[in-house]
Structure 1
Amino acid sequence: MKTNLVYQLISEIFKTLAHPLRIQILLSLAERERCVCELLQEIGVEQSNLSQHLRILKKQGIIDSRKDGQRMFYRINLPSVLDLLNDARRTLKDQVKGHEELYKNIKIT
């Protein structure tokens, strides 16, 4: 039964990452810590939408925040999450490559 808990916790990580906006946020934070105002400008969504996704990432412990005056800054708390995103990019590249090979072998008459 302990193994099932591990699978469930891993699944929760993937659920947290399973939104394009959250991936975009993480890739932006991979470069450096950013304030919400920078993220809003870069990503181009409503503040309430951004806040919701930041809250989800923070709840999972993937990002962390600090307040400096009126500004809230966010940073990656678990750098290993960037390895997951890079692995996903490689998987996507392999997947696309596989489709290219398939398309080359299709003969249209």
Structure 2
Amino acid sequence: MLQSSITPTQISAGFHALSDPLRLQVIDLLRERELCVCELCEHLEVSQSKLSFHLKTLKEAGLVRSQQEGRWIYYSLNLTQFVALEQYLADYRRFSSIAPARTCQE
């Protein structure tokens, strides 16, 4: 397998962040454009406290970036991290042979 610049911890954090339906909805909304927390809450119909937990998880995984402007925080996708996760999976497709299923025989 090719050596990736992404660490096992980052890979694990990225896939964990992608494992929640609400976080996937956040990512889908951010595909279109940068959004502030209030816009995300409105689109997703969730409280800011609930959303903050999920945004923190996405941020810690490096999948989203935040930028404060005045009293608002705007979120956008960090596409570099998505590319790194995609490359990690692509390396398996390119460099790992798919072995036939084994059958146990005693």
TM category, shorter: 0.5 to 0.7
Give the TM-score, by structure 1 length. 0.64
8 Å CA contact retained: 2:62, 2:81: no
Partner residue, 1:62: 63
The residue that corresponds to 2:37 in the other structure is: 36
1:12 shift after superposition: 2.8
Residue 73 (structure 1) aligns with: 74
Structure 1 residues 8 and 66, CA, compared in 2 at 3 Å: closer, same or farther? closer
- Which of the two has greater helix per residue? 1
**8 Å contact from structure 1 (residues 61, 78) kept in 2:** no
Report the TM-score when normalising by structure 2: 0.66
Q: Which amino acid in 1 is paired with 2:77?
A: I
* SS in structure 2 of the partner of residue 18 of structure 1: coil
Which residue identity lines up with residue 20 of structure 1 in the other structure? P
Give secondary structure in 2 for the equivalent of 1:12: helix
Code of the residue aligned with 1:67 in structure 2: it is Q
Shift in Å, 1:80? 6.0
Conserved 8 A contact 1:40-1:46: yes
Whether the aligned pair in 1 keeps the contact of 2:64 and 2:78 (CA below 8 Å) is yes
Structure 1: distance between partners of 2:81 and 2:60: 16
Higher RCO (CA 8 Å, separation ≥ 6 residues)? 2
Q: How many percent identity over aligned positions?
A: 40
- The corresponding residue for 1:51 is 52
Structure 2 residue 13 is the aligned partner of structure 1 residue 12: yes
Query: Any gaps of 5 or more consecutive residues in structure 1?
Result: 85-109
Spell out, residue by residue over 1:33-52, the C-alpha distance to the aligned partner (whole angstroms, 9 max, x if none).
00111001000111111000
Equivalent residues, number: 81
Give the distance between the partners of 2:50 and 2:25, measured in 1 at CA.
13
